[in-house]
Amino acid sequence: MASIGHVVLGTAVARAHDGTLNWRSAVAFSAFSMLPDLDVIGFRFGIPYGAPFGHRGATHSIAFALAVGVLGFFITRRNWRSTFAVTLVVLSHPLLDMLTDGGLGVALFWPLTPHRYFFPWTPLPVAPIGKGMLSARGLYVVAVESLVFLPLLFLRLDPRRYSWTLRRKSATSEKRVCR
């Protein structure tokens, strides 16, 4: 993916986690969302795409998301809510990649199996790697991802907002009872 989807998802989870849009948190969760793509460094060291530690390999697995979650558990001083949010956002990365229409699949169940998977439905165009993003294909991918994911930013994922709405409704019904 061209990362727009990953950044938007990271921002949406940050907003749900904090109950408001905090930019520091949005940047942190977006970084966690893109973390699995650190494996592209492997190309520089001659690690082939299809190798277990190649692109979309080990860092795109459930095991990796859980490992980052465990690390987050201790960094956040055993905050379960943050741990869950971090694990979810890291895991969202391979799941979104599995919706793309090219490249090799995702080694979701590594280390149990190095097999690469896609979802049966792959509506998102796969992004070219590196400088390829500056091509017509790269621009096309950015356009599609913007159309699909940017509206997510306008979703009201703030749980406090919903609880406020519920409180307001119950206060209104109390008023009615008082009359």
Residue nearer to Zn ion on the CB measure, 21 or 67: 67
Interface residue list for Zn ion (CB under 5 A): 37, 97
Residue nearer to Zn ion on the CB measure, 48 or 159: 48
Shortest Å distance, C-beta 84 to Zn ion? 21
Residue nearer to Zn ion on the CB measure, 36 or 72: 36
Encoding tokens for residue 9? 């998802």
Shortest Å distance, C-beta 59 to Zn ion? 8
Q: Are 57 and 51 in contact (CB under 8 A)?
A: yes
Q: Are 48 and 103 in contact (CB under 8 A)?
A: no
Q: Are 172 and 30 in contact (CB under 8 A)?
A: no
The Cα angle at residue 119 between residues 116 and 123, in degrees rounded to 5: 120
Shortest Å distance, C-beta 90 to Zn ion? 11
